[in-house]
Homo-oligomer: A and B are copies of this chain.
Amino acid sequence: MPSSTVENYLKQILLITLEREEKVVPMGLISESLDVTPGTATSMAKNLEKEGWLCYEPRRGVSLKPAGRKLGLNILRRHRLLETFLVETLGLDWSEIHEEAEELEHAISEKVLERLDDFLGRPRHDPHGHPIPTKGGVMQRKKSRSLVGCKEGLSVVIESIDDQERNFLKFARSRHLLPGKKIKILSREEEADAMEIRVEGKMPFSIGFEAARKILVSV
């Protein structure tokens, strides 16, 4: 039975793999995202290789083997289902569910997870708009673009919010930047690193490129 440390490494490596669309993940990204020193990530990578979860190529990085990918997806499923439960059923705030799910995902059994899935009505997306992998380990990956790349005048629908940071999520909710909402890009100011947008039915406001980058949309 893999420890929660192992589970965290594999989940994070999976997320980085998907994000970069690149099989090999350099050690730096791992140590940074898990907040451990580089040396720790290296020694852990060797352990994970010995246990068959991934391949470790010195000075290049790691790449998930099928077993590691499967476990990573499974943890992601747990995480996202739990987040959904915390918001839908217990009414927790969008901005505080990540840390909670981070703990619970390692403690919940397969059996309880499936019951929870039933109870929630087998949702396909979590509250952030991220897809929930199926029990079989399948996760549909739609190529969504970031708000930051959208031209003036365009109307788009928010697909997901790609940041777990508390304060950013609070901001997003306060401006009604939620999955499913329609928004229009009123103007772009290249020099000011900002754009002006309007969420349907709300007041227009401006948002910096850095923040807009975290908002994924579909046309």
Contact = CB atoms under 8 A, between A and B. Distances in A.
A108 interface: yes
A111 B96 CA distance: 10
A199 B78 CA distance: 41
A155 to B, nearest CB: 37
Given A90-B115, A119-B90, A107 B109 contact: no
A211 interface: no
Interface string A102-144: 0110111101100110010000000000000000000000000
Interface residues of A, number: 18
Nearest to A119: B90
17 contacts: A89-B119, A90-B112, A90-B115, A90-B116, A90-B119, A91-B115, A92-B111, A92-B115, A96-B111, A100-B109, A100-B111, A100-B112, A103-B109, A104-B104, A104-B107, A104-B108, A104-B112
